[in-house]
Amino acid sequence: MIPLHTAAWVIASVHLGTLVRSRRAWACAGLLALPSLIAWIVASSYFKATPSGLTTMLGWNALLQVSVPLVSLLMGVAVVAEEVDDRTITYLFIRPIPRTALLYGRLITSVLWLAVCAAVAVALLVAAASCADGSDAGISNGVRVPLVLAACSGVAVYTVVFAALGVWVKNAMIVGLGYTFAVEGFLSQLPGRNQLLTLQHHLRSLIAGTGDDAWQRIDGYGTTTWEPLGSTILTLASIVAVAVLLGAWRLKRRQYELTS
């Protein structure tokens, strides 16, 4: 039997090659870069926009809240489900490798791709927002670094969760859409500590824990109770670990009835 890490590495290296040639991967990169396009439009048209204000607002509302979950859904669900839909999973399951190598290998590549695209997207956003004429102290590291951290962590966490969902559930895309835009949206509007049940809240807590005062301008920022940084990191890491373990457990036992 081939060791898990070797098999995962082989799968990851081949998958990376096919991923960078796929339309889906570039569409995800485009979706992540969309907030920077908006930033450029606003910076070019609105003379009162400030660079840091633009960065924080678009980073918070557009990048983190819409782009990150959406691209993670598109990539995460496809980690296992794409092989099942394409009926190529047969070849991988009839090799002397642990079944979980499929999950780990493809997950690594997907997360890596999205993390790079997210980091580039933040860089583009900062560059576009910097064109704004409005005067302020500029885009500090207290804005850049938390945003990169939150965006990259966001794509990692969401992708892993949706990948596990793809292993468990048949219509994972629909369930994922429902969770992201209905459940999380609904829970975030509820009073009290219901927001703790959403991934978005923890990602925003990352920003709150590492960011500077520039983020205070965001609506609702000052009135929300954010989680301490250590607790946030632990929560996100636990979610990733649990999702991966659950996905791996299910994949080892699941039978796929593929039609001809």
Q: Which residues in this chain contact other proteins in the complex, by CB under 8 A?
A: 1-2, 7, 10-11, 14, 17-18, 21-24, 31, 34, 38, 41-42, 45-46, 49, 54, 57-58, 61-62, 65-66, 70, 73-74, 77, 81, 85-88, 90-99, 171, 173-174, 177, 181, 252-253, 255-260
101 or 236, CB closer to other proteins? 101
CB of 61 to other proteins, least distance (A): 6
CB of 199 to other proteins, least distance (A): 17
CB of 184 to other proteins, least distance (A): 12
Q: Is 131 exposed, middle or buried (0-12, 13-18, 19+ CB in 10 A)?
A: middle
162 or 211, CB closer to other proteins? 162
CB of 238 to other proteins, least distance (A): 27
162 or 232, CB closer to other proteins? 162
18 or 238, CB closer to other proteins? 18
177 or 233, CB closer to other proteins? 177
Identify the CA nearest to 115 among candidates 76, 70, 154: 154
Identify the CA nearest to 244 among candidates 115, 89, 103: 103
The terminus-to-terminus CA distance of the chain in angstroms comes to: 29
Q: Is 192 exposed, middle or buried (0-12, 13-18, 19+ CB in 10 A)?
A: exposed
Question: How many CB atoms within 10 Å of residue 240?
Answer: 18
Question: How many CB atoms within 10 Å of residue 198?
Answer: 19
CB of 56 to other proteins, least distance (A): 12
29 or 42, CB closer to other proteins? 42
Q: In angstroms, rounded to a whole number, what is the distance separating the alpha carbons of residues 97 and 92? A: 8
Beta-carbon-side half-sphere exposure of residue 132 (alpha carbons within 13 Å): 29
CB of 244 to other proteins, least distance (A): 18
CB of 247 to other proteins, least distance (A): 15
Angle between helices 199-210 and 141-168 (to 10 degrees): 160
66 or 131, CB closer to other proteins? 66
Q: Which two tokens stand for residue 29?
A: 């990169």
Question: How many CB atoms within 10 Å of residue 209?
Answer: 18
